[in-house]
Amino acid sequence: MSIHSVFRCKLWLVMAMCLACLNANAQGGKGKNKKRNQPKQVKSATTKAEENQRFMCEIFEISPQFPGGDKALMEFLKKEVRQPDEAKDVKGKVVIGVIVETSGELTHFEVRRSVHPALDKEALRVVKMMPKWIPGSICGKLVAVKYNLVVAFKGEEKGGTEPERRDK
């Protein structure tokens, strides 16, 4: 036999074994282990029971909304945001991440983009004093939604905001 024919025989043998294994795996014991095809439940890394029970989503039909809409949100922030003395010349936008719960409460406050520690503190203070929001929903069911708020600081002037359109 030539080297090519030996190689072909080995190749056909390997391919036949692979097909036999795939076929045997596909035929597997249907009645032996019914739990085999059921997805395993994976426990969340978080220990908070409330987070396991709550439906967090990133895709929703109706976005959470400040009472009165974006215009009212901007007015609220213009009224409440103050430029801290220790950062009176600092300009920039602080991004605060929150979760708008099904009750409309804001929770899990997080500085996602920092400009200056004093501005971060002021932005958190103002966002934490916001009234309840109108929660987001999917198919008529209220859901908790991750949301980003941008609080703009303009140096010596009063701060303002631009609601972040990318909801996360």
Give the domain ranges of the chain: 55-163
- For residue 145, give the nearest of 114, 110, 105, 93 by alpha carbon: 105
pTM score above 0.85: no
Band of residue 62 on the pLDDT scale cut at 50, 70, 90? confident
Instruction: List C-alpha distances in Å: 33 to 24, 37, 38.
Output: 16, 8, 10
Residues 55-163, CATH architecture: 2-Layer Sandwich (3.30)
Q: Which of 26-30, 46-50, 85-89, 116-120 is predicted most confidently?
A: 116-120
Q: How many CA atoms, within 13 angstroms, populate the side-chain half-sphere of residue 99?
A: 14
- Whether the predicted pLDDT of 42 surpasses 80: no
Residue indicated by tokens 């099904």: 102
- At residue 108, φ and ψ (nearest 5 deg) are 50, 60
- Whether the predicted pLDDT of 44 surpasses 50: no
- Whether the predicted pLDDT of 73 surpasses 60: yes
Rounded Cα distance, 117 and 86, in Å: 10
